[in-house]
């Protein structure tokens, strides 16, 4: 998936309605209509705050491993409750993203990829 497809699928999972645009090279995102204000791009691939809010909204769990320089993101899906009343979860999407030169960018990308997997799955349902 390219960045545009990732953003569109992640937006779908988060319930964000808008259209993808790149009005200035390098400034891209999902633009939501804003009443009485300027449009602001939603791009959690580039914005730490938007990525964190996306992870919180979709209950994406993040693990960062310094030893392997990798970020893991997964979205738990409730399967039911065990005999002791404890919830039983499985990872419905497990994403690995290597740090490369920027662990922050890798973390944002892992979050967006996990959200996009949820958005793609909901689109098929």
Q: What is the mean pLDDT of the chain?
A: 83
Domain of 27, in residue numbers: 3-122
The tally of domains found in the chain comes to: 1
pLDDT tens column, 58-116: 988 888 887 776 777 777 766 667 777 776 666 666 788 888 889 999 999 999 999 99
Side-chain-facing half-sphere of 115: CA atoms under 13 Å: 34
Contact present, 44 and 112 (Cβ < 8 Å): yes
Average pLDDT rounded to a whole number, residues 19-43:
80
The yes-or-no verdict on residue 52 having pLDDT over 80 is yes
Q: How many residues does the chain have?
A: 125
Question: pTM of the predicted model, to two decimals?
Answer: 0.81
Average pLDDT over residues 20-37: 80
Residue 92's Cβ-count burial label (10 Å; 0-12, 13-18, 19+) is: middle
Per-residue CA distances from 109 to 81, 88, 115 (Å): 32, 27, 10
């Amino acid at each position: 998936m390219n960045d545009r497809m990732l953003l569109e699928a992640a937006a779908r999972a988060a319930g964000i309605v808008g259209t993808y645009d790149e009005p200035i090279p390098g400034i891209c995102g999902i633009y939501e209509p804003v009443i009485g204000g300027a449009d602001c791009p939603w791009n959690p691939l580039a914005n730490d705050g938007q990525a964190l809010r996306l992870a919180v909204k979709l209950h994406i769990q993040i693990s960062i491993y310094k030893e392997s320089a990798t970020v893991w993101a997964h979205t738990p899906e409730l399967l039911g409750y065990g005999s002791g009343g404890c919830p039983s979860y499985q990872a419905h999407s497990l994403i690995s993203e290597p740090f490369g030169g920027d662990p922050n960018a890798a973390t944002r990308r892992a979050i967006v990829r996990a959200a996009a997997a949820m958005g793609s799955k909901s689109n098929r349902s």
